[in-house]
Amino acid sequence: MKINHDPEVYQSCEAAFLEAMGRSIKVCIDQSEIGTAAEREALFMTLLAVVASRCSGFAIGSTVLSGSSAYPVMGYARDDDGVVYFGKGSRLHELVAPLAAALAGVAPKVFVIDGFQFSTLDGFFDEISRKLIPGAQWGRNLDAFNDILGGGFGTPEEGFVLRWTNSARSRETLGYPETVRCLDLKLQKCHPANREDVARALEMAKSGVGPTVFDWLVDIIGDHGAGGKQAVCNVRLILQ
């Protein structure tokens, strides 16, 4: 593997890292709705400074972040013989102020889906197509919906808010009758190795037991938000 020792290339990668990290931090803080807007901006600035300073090995004020000495993780330096030493610190802390200014006031994008616009899983997929990724082609199944939430189909890579209005109606229309219908179709098409599990879920749904289509969707979305396995996607669900 070829290693690029060009300082400008390395520094541009560091800057891209800090920007991506900064956007993620800002989305999380904005979604928390803690305090006033000014207090959230101050918290964002503080956390961004801590991250940048820790990575660059730069001590804020007279206090060294890692205890007794700076803790450089990123950056590199050359000695007089041209030998490269990685982990010698960077100048990321100098980019905090301009990056914070660039991101000031940037709020996560909000997408709104309306429970009165659909009553089936296919209808939900239609609503997602219209509101989140108009014009994009996708698989129109639960796995593909999971992929959409992770980005790459036109949704903001830094995360977004999904506001589901009239969700109480969706909880009803995407309840057990729709779940039975979907599982019945899945049973007809699934791999033989999965038929037993699908058949068991179908019988449970017929008895009004277990997760519904509505639950499936909420769980998938929730997995991309705070506490989920894919929380890095920064997707926040608001049920109204």
Q: How far apart are CA 20 and CA 185, in angstroms?
A: 41
Answer yes or no: do 17 and 48 share one domain: yes
The predicted pLDDT at position 9 comes to: 65
Highest mean pLDDT among 12-16, 135-139, 183-187: 183-187
Answer yes or no: do 130 and 220 share one domain: yes
Q: Region 210-223: what's the mean pLDDT? A: 95
Number of domains forming the structure of the chain = 3
Range of the domain at 140: 109-172+213-239
**pLDDT tens-digit series, residues 171-180:** 999 999 999 9
Question: For tokens 């429970």, what's the residue?
Answer: 115
Indicate the SS3 state at residue 84. strand
Answer yes or no: do 117 and 217 share one domain: yes
Asked if 15 and 96 touch (Cβ cutoff 8 Å), the reply is no
What is the pTM assigned to this prediction?
Answer: 0.61
Domain boundary among 84, 103, 122: 103
Q: Region 222-240: what's the mean pLDDT? A: 86
The predicted pLDDT at position 233 comes to: 84
Asked, for residue 1, whether it belongs to a domain, the answer is: no
Asked, for residue 2, whether it belongs to a domain, the answer is: no
The predicted pLDDT at position 225 comes to: 84
**pLDDT tens-digit series, residues 71-121:** 455 666 666 666 665 555 666 767 777 777 767 666 678 899 999 999 999
Q: How far apart are CA 74 and CA 91, in angstroms?
A: 9
Answer yes or no: do 161 and 234 share one domain: yes
Domain boundary among 53, 69, 103: 103
Strands 160-165 and 109-114, sheet pairing = parallel
Asked if 49 and 61 touch (Cβ cutoff 8 Å), the reply is no
Tally the C-alpha atoms within 13 A of residue 105's C-alpha that lie toward its C-beta: 2
Answer yes or no: do 31 and 90 share one domain: yes
Answer yes or no: do 93 and 29 share one domain: yes
